[in-house]
Amino acid sequence: MTPVPLGDQVAALRHGAGAYPLGRDVFSVRGDDAGSYLQGQLSQDVTALGIGASADSLLLQPDGKLTALLRVTRVDGQGFVLDTDAGFGDAMVARLKKFLLRSKVEIERLPWRGLALRGAEVPQAAAGLLGVLAEAGVMALPFEWNGWSGIDLLGPKEMVLDPATGQVPEGIIACEREAVEACRIVSGIPAMGSELTDRTIAAEAGLVERTVSFTKGCYTGQELVARLDARGNNVPRRLVGVIGGPDPEGEQLAFGMTLHAGEPADVATDKVVGTVTSAAWSPELRAWVALAYLHRTVDAPGPVRVRSGDGLGGSRPARVALLPLLGDP
């Protein structure tokens, strides 16, 4: 099979119909107290979810720092499904069980597989597949973040195909990680383990509007979120985009690189004002792109310099931009 060029994969993920394995840890949360317990632990208004409805939410530590960015889906009157980025489910469940006490709640890992369908033509291209999977009980959850849209499929492994080994339906292109990362970064979507860690404050990553209800009751970690919101979410650093060079084989952006303001300076005195957390080549923008945390004293959009994370060598020009990067001149 002839490999699909990176640019065509990105075009499919954005404007056509693309598919890729969706790495998610999935758990069932059931019991008489499931709704009330999750309502006191998650930042979203869980009790307002109708059956089949989903919402992104934060699971926080008591000090307001992040444990997990997750999605909560109500499946019936006493049951929910929680899913988060693969590799972070155990930490999510350990945090939930820490405050479970005597609540009548059972949490169970589901041995499910995820498949992401992305692109404006997904509803038409995947109509037949979606119909078959719906009858088999596979969850089809709408996805939309900063203009990037699609559907996430979650279900038993024997029902949800792996595009790397299974034949995707005609009209849908199987896409590789490089294309997915390019779309994610340009769209300004943070991921667990890179942009989101146990030291992250939700406001830094621009997550508050998407994940927090300010009309529900109290939940663990609420105090910091509410206090920062009352102060205009003026945090020491914020997640931004970085646009680098126009040569895919040239000077790359990479995880761990540092951002610097002002004119070039001696390495020993060159103050770090930001750090790259994810990077990729973007066929859409025809440039290297990255996500980075930038100190609030530096304006965005605006020019910066990039230096390798080891502090060796010179710096090169780049610019920071507000997210998403789509349409950035």
CA distances from 95 to 58, 89, 109, 225 (A): 12, 10, 14, 18
Residue 206: inside a domain, yes or no? Answer: no
> Could you tell me if 75 and 51 are in contact, meaning their C-beta atoms sit under 8 angstroms apart?
yes
Q: What is the pLDDT of residue 328?
A: 47
CATH value at residue 313: 2.40.30.110
Q: Does one domain contain both 27 and 150?
A: yes
- pLDDT tens across 179-218, in order? 999 999 999 999 999 999 999 999 999 999 999 999 999 9
d(CA 130, CA 99): 38
Range of the domain at 109: 6-187
Q: Is residue 272 part of a domain?
A: yes
Residue 180 lies in a domain: yes
The one-letter code for the residue type at 106 is E
DSSP 209-264: HHH--SSS---TTHHHHHHHHHTTS--SEEEEEEE--S-TTSS---TT-EEE-SS-
Convert the pLDDT of each residue in 277-325 to its tens digit.
999 999 999 999 999 999 999 999 999 999 987 656 678 999 999 999 9
Per DSSP, the three-state class of 163 is coil
Does 37 lie in the same domain as 174? yes
37 & 181 share domain = yes
d(CA 145, CA 21): 18
Would you say how long the chain is, in residues? Answer: 329
Residue 166 belongs to some domain of the structure: yes
Same domain, 70 and 175: yes
Q: Following DSSP, what letter does each residue of 6-52 receive, concatenated?
A: HHHHHHHHHHS-EEEE--EEEEEEESTTHHHHHHTTBSS-GGGPPTT
48 shares a domain with 175: yes
**Is the pLDDT confidence value at 123 over 80?**
yes
pLDDT by residue (tens digit) across 8-17? 999 999 999 9
The tens digit of pLDDT for each residue in 243-280 reads 999 999 888 999 999 999 987 766 666 889 999 999 99
Structure tokens at 108: 């169970």
Q: Residue 269 has what pLDDT?
A: 66
